[in-house]
């Protein structure tokens, strides 16, 4: 047993002899400085690898999440637009307890008659008055926003409380653009199978989509405007553009569009950079319908295309660049307008509705 100058004994040797072993200096020695440094270096390398893997996975997850957010936002907008484009042009009045009725008797002939409500009524609209054998179409000649009366010509007598309907479809539910509508780069957004030319002073454009109708099937006519405000420079940008939507309830004489709400705030210019694809594209069809002694030409939007490009809200952690995505929806079908087109094709204009006069003023 080894004794030290302080009177202590080497327990390593004592324990070894207690176990019947021969002790040596090497068995009692600790880690050398070199061994300790090597061990620490190995731990640092392993820890660095683990941290690097965790960081990579976090960056990959963040990139996937940003891409998913871009896709979900664009898809939500496309679904909303598809629903409203499909419903565009549908004309109806409130139903149930809110269904309008005649407040006083209507005699035969042209006259002004009071009604319980003028909600979703407008000059030029075809009403269906009464039911059964007495049901007749009556075109509203005029109405005002200050009185609950309509002016029209009646072929039958109708008593107070007579129910009024207005089921129909307008071929102009999507406000047509002019045939020469183009982008700032001169790219046309209108396709006409028969090369028709016409002039609309305040219609839809390559960056503005205007539509109207009973879009929610609740008897309320609304005017909806989608506007693409894209940057003038191509590629990702720190100041992206917006896609906005305004919803305005159509009322007699109304000319003011409601405040727009932002649907997307990450728009960038569509490719290619030399001649960007228009945000909205339109297929126009025409049909001439003869009603009585007059012939009217309808310009119908038979199909709407949507192309939008977006970027992520923040730069990608891996590359430091904004991620981008371009999506095209080229077959947003206006089913009600197509139904009106078919109806017009077969010469039946009994349920074709004109657009409200103030639609061109919004």
- 329 and 299 in a common domain: yes
Classify residue 329: in a domain, yes or no: yes
Does 256 reside within a domain?
A: yes
- Specify if 185 maps to a domain: yes
Considering the domain architecture, whether residues 198 and 254 belong to the same structural domain is answered as yes
Residue 342 forms part of a structural domain: yes
Instruction: Please report the pLDDT score of residue 351 as a whole number.
Output: 77
Shared domain check, 326 and 276: yes
| Pairing mode, strands 241-249 and 261-268 | antiparallel
Q: Which of 165, 191, 218 is the last residue of a domain?
A: 165
Domain extent at residue 187: 60-92+168-361
Q: Looking at the structure, do residues 80 and 125 belong to the same domain, yes or no? A: no
Query: Is 201 found in the same domain as 115?
Result: no
Residue 13 located in a structural domain: no
The total of structural domains in the chain comes to 2
Same domain, 159 and 278: no
Note whether residue 6 is domain-resident. Answer: no
In a domain, 187, yes or no: yes
The residues pairing with 227 across neighbouring beta strands, listed in sequence order, are 208, 244
The reported pLDDT for the residue numbered 197 is 65
For 4, 24, 31, 107, the CA distances from 14, given in Å and listed in that order, are 13, 11, 21, 127
Of 167, 158, 198, whose CA–CA distance to 296 is shortest? 198
Domain match, 200 and 153 both: no
Read off the tokens for 190. 């209108």
The last residue of one of the domains, among 148, 165, 182, is 165
- Do 293 and 229 sit in the same domain of this protein? yes
pLDDT by residue for the chain (362 residues), tens digit each? 545 555 555 555 555 555 555 555 555 566 777 777 877 888 888 877 777 777 776 767 667 777 888 889 999 999 999 999 999 999 999 988 889 999 999 999 999 999 999 999 999 999 999 998 999 999 999 988 778 899 999 999 999 999 999 878 998 899 988 777 888 888 889 887 666 666 666 689 999 999 999 999 999 999 999 999 999 888 888 789 999 999 999 998 888 999 999 999 999 999 998 899 999 999 988 777 766 567 777 778 889 999 999 998 888 777 888 888 999 998 899 998 888 778 777 777 777 888 899 888 88
> In Å, how far are 19, 177, 345 from 289, measured between CA atoms?
114, 21, 8
- Let me know whether 184 and 212 are in one domain: yes
In a domain, 43, yes or no: no
320 and 219 together in one domain: yes
Domain end marker among 139, 165, 191: 165
Residues 201 and 188 in one domain: yes
- What was the pLDDT predicted at 180? 75
Same domain as 303, residue 191:
yes
């Amino acid at each position: 047993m080894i004794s030290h100058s302080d009177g202590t004994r080497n327990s390593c040797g004592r324990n070894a002899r207690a176990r019947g072993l021969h002790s040596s200096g090497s068995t009692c020695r600790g880690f050398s400085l070199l061994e300790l440094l090597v061990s620490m270096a190995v731990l640092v390398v392993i820890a660095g690898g683990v941290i690097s893997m965790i960081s990579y996975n976090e960056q990959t997850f963040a990139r996937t999440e940003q891409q998913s957010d871009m896709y979900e936002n664009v898809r939500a907008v496309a679904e909303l637009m598809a629903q409203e484009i499909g419903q565009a042009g549908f004309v109806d009045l409130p139903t149930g307890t809110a269904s309008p009725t005649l407040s006083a008797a209507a005699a035969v002939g042209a006259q002004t008659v009071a009604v319980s409500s003028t909600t979703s009524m407008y000059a030029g609209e075809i009403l269906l008055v009464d039911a059964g054998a007495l049901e007749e179409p009556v075109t509203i000649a005029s109405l005002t926003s200050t009185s609950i009366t309509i002016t029209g010509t009646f072929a039958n007598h109708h008593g107070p409380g007579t129910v009024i309907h207005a089921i129909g479809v307008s071929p102009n539910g999507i406000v047509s653009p002019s045939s020469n509508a183009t982008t700032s780069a001169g790219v046309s957004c209108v396709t006409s199978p028969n090369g028709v030319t016409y002039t609309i002073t305040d219609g839809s454009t390559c960056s503005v989509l205007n539509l109207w109708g009973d879009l929610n099937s609740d008897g309320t006519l609304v005017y909806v405007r989608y506007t693409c405000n894209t940057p003038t420079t191509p590629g990702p940008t720190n100041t992206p553009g917006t896609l906005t939507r305004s919803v305005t309830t159509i009322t007699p004489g109304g000319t003011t569009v409601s405040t727009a709400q932002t649907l997307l705030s990450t728009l960038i210019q569509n490719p290619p950079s030399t001649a960007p694809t228009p945000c909205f594209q339109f297929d126009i069809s025409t049909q001439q319908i003869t009603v009585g002694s007059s012939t009217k030409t309808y310009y119908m939007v038979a199909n709407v295309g949507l192309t939008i490009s977006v970027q992520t809200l923040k730069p990608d952690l891996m590359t430091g660049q904004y991620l981008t995505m371009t999506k095209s929806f080229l077959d947003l079908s206006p089913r009600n307008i197509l139904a009106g087109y078919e109806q017009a094709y077969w010469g039946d204009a009994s349920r074709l509705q004109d657009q409200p006069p103030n639609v061109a003023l919004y």
